[in-house]
Chains A and B, each alone.
Chain A
């Protein structure tokens, strides 16, 4: 709604007021990310302003501290394994859910998305008691299964959304040309819904990579993940080293976000047939 040339004084105030407020809120959203990056290049020991000078010493400190390296490794192992599991289980379920009509479908969908909705502390404690009983507390498989449960809803929702725009006659066309169902799936369905599966996978990875409360209850000290390590660091003393880790994680988020956006555009192109 652009301002008309005949706008009254009052209209102008509202128009500019809304814009100023909008830009102020956007600044508020991006500010913490903008401020952490320069701090990580500080040459000083404390988080004082203005910065005493530029250096990469904190990156060096982080790279040579075993605790941070182990944490990064743990986050990667758990994130990648749980993402693969979530992608397999989630894609299968999404294909089934998109086609099938049965009586308790609503309840099944509610169960599948509930890991996002139920307060995380309840999930964490519940899993803790169960995993103690089956001997999975303090193990990698335990953490991977827990993270899979938390991230699988994102795969299901994303793949179902992609399937919503999927033209079923393509499968019939493939079948009429003699393709067995599995071949039709592999050669026709999969390439079309792949961007959805990949986006869901990235969502799942981001969820696992950011997870802390469940990890808190289930992980032994040797399974500490990055968020867990940051949490302990922040509780003790916020050093520029933490800002360096934060900057690296912001780069990871930016990469994930960019990839998801590219996949979304590709999926839209495939669906609309535009080049």
Chain B
């Protein structure tokens, strides 16, 4: 078939475009199953959980009429009769799945005394009011005559609440809706966050200090020998976390090998407390995370030509000066990336501190689990999850800026 040159070229270009488009579709179809799977089983569940940190359906679910009646209520002062009547109606006809204790505990978290107030009112509420509902309720418990309980109810009647997130950093809303710090004896989470950062920082610094010489010496050794010694890094890396933690408990306990050896050497007379305290946590966590420091650092060092060092020496630098001025600066990005990676991974640690730490060494994750399993305060658990995830993502953005993600993947 004869066609003019330009028309043929155009058709050819169109066909190429079509083939490319078909190819892209085929590639997307290959990615799609995994994408859908992770969205369904992983991403959506996590978002759903974190949503609980701002969701507030307890008051609206238990006291729907009161929420409506309080819509126009502005403190100071008490709400009108309609609100009192709505509250009485709500408390008398609680839906079957509702739970006064849950409601009381929820309100008690922001205003102490609310739990007993709710329980008492629900139990002793008469079927018909003596005069107005306002007088009846205040007679039943004079707290209903105090503005602060009503403004708490009002604050908690929105579908969304900032209180869990505020509580996660030791803040709360006061009656006027202002953000204030909680009472000093109830401050808890900021110091926990601080401790989590502190332990992670200690682990990251120790890993950097211990990992650098290992990567440096292994890189300088002949390849055969370095590969042999690399087993000491890789075997623990592949060994179960639980196995390693158990091993440290055995090693460091009162009559364990470490204490026995120290006593045999005559360095100590009584066994040292090496486990179930901060020392034990640091030892076990550094042991787990050290390979994440050594492997990327080793990969970075492998890429530095040894001629640089020799050039510095030939120009008259001593070994020390050549190291500090020529070698160290080239490895600093790798060192920073490794330390940051270790720090980020340490932030979320739960199992190791739970097994080898004391009560004063538990981190943010442990508190999250406590709120899930023991205090059953899911909103609070979700708020701590937001805090932990926020810190992690923020640090990963920094990590990405360091251009280190590529090194990590290459080393892994």
Contacts and interface: CB of A to CB of B under 8 A. Distances in A.
A230 interface: yes
A117 B31 contact: no
Nearest to A240: B250
B240 A32 contact: no
Interface in B33-77: 33-35, 37-39, 41-50
B388 A119 contact: yes
Interface in A129-159: 129-131, 145-146, 148-149, 152, 156-157
B238 A119 contact: no
A130 B256 CA distance: 43
B189 interface: no
A69 interface: no
B348 A36 contact: no
B78 interface: no
A108 interface: yes
Contact of B27 (A2, A27, A99): A99
A62 interface: no
B246 A115 contact: no
Interface in A74-132: 89-90, 92-93, 95-97, 99-102, 108, 111-112, 114-115, 117-123, 125-131
Interface in B301-325: 306, 309, 318-320, 323
Which of under 10, 10 to 19, 20 to 34, or 35 or more describes the interface residues of A? Answer: 35 or more
Given A96-B31, A97-B31, A119-B389, A32 B213 contact: no
B46 to A, nearest CB: 4
B195 to A, nearest CB: 16
Contact of A149 (B42, B50, B257, B381): B42
B371 to A, nearest CB: 9
Which of B49, B256, B291, B306 has the most chain A CB within a 10 Å cutoff? B49
Interface stretch (B95-103, B146-154, B167-175, B226-234): B226-234
Nearest to A142: B41
A29 interface: yes
A146 B287 contact: no
A123 B46 contact: yes
Contact of B392 (A92, A119, A242): A119
A49 B240 contact: no
Contacts of B39: 111
B27 A100 contact: yes
A173 interface: no
B253 A47 contact: yes
Contacts of B244: 32-33
A48 B260 CA distance: 9
B170 to A, nearest CB: 21
Which of under 10, 10 to 19, 20 to 34, or 35 or more describes the interface residues of B? Answer: 35 or more
Interface stretch (B104-112, B135-143, B215-223): B215-223
Contact of B233 (A29, A32, A36, A90): A29
Contacts of A39: 250
B233 A26 contact: yes
A11 B239 CA distance: 37
A25 B236 CA distance: 12
Contacts of B88: none
B248 interface: yes
Contacts of A115: 38, 42
Given A93-B34, A121-B368, A129-B49, A227 B242 contact: yes
B389 A249 contact: no
Contacts, number: 260
B34 A92 contact: yes
A15 B309 CA distance: 14
Contacts of B255: 46-49
B166 interface: no
Contacts of B389: 118-119, 122
A254 B235 CA distance: 6
Given A11-B318, A125-B372, A234-B249, A93 B240 contact: no
Contacts of B251: 31-32, 35
Interface string A238-263: 10001100100110011011000000
Interface string B202-222: 000000001101101110100
Contact of B396 (A117, A146, A213, A256): A117
A234 B372 CA distance: 23
B338 to A, nearest CB: 14
B31 A100 contact: yes
Contacts of A190: none
Given A1-B220, A22-B217, A126-B48, 19 more contacts: A1-B309, A14-B320, A21-B210, A26-B232, A30-B231, A31-B251, A32-B251, A36-B247, A49-B260, A93-B31, A114-B43, A119-B348, A123-B42, A126-B47, A126-B49, A131-B45, A152-B38, A230-B242, A250-B243
Which 10 A-B residue pairs are closest in the complex by CB-CB distance? A119-B348, A96-B30, A32-B247, A130-B45, A100-B27, A22-B217, A126-B46, A126-B49, A93-B34, A96-B31
Interface of A: 1-2, 7-8, 10-11, 14-15, 18-19, 21-22, 25-33, 35-36, 39, 46-49, 89-90, 92-93, 95-97, 99-102, 108, 111-112, 114-115, 117-123, 125-131, 145-146, 148-149, 152, 156-157, 161, 206, 209-210, 212-213, 226-227, 230-231, 234-235, 238, 242-243, 246, 249-250, 253-254, 256-257
30 contacts: A10-B320, A11-B318, A18-B213, A28-B210, A29-B291, A30-B231, A30-B236, A31-B251, A32-B248, A32-B287, A33-B244, A49-B256, A93-B30, A96-B26, A96-B29, A111-B39, A115-B38, A120-B365, A121-B348, A121-B369, A122-B348, A125-B368, A125-B372, A126-B47, A126-B48, A210-B242, A226-B242, A234-B355, A238-B249, A249-B240
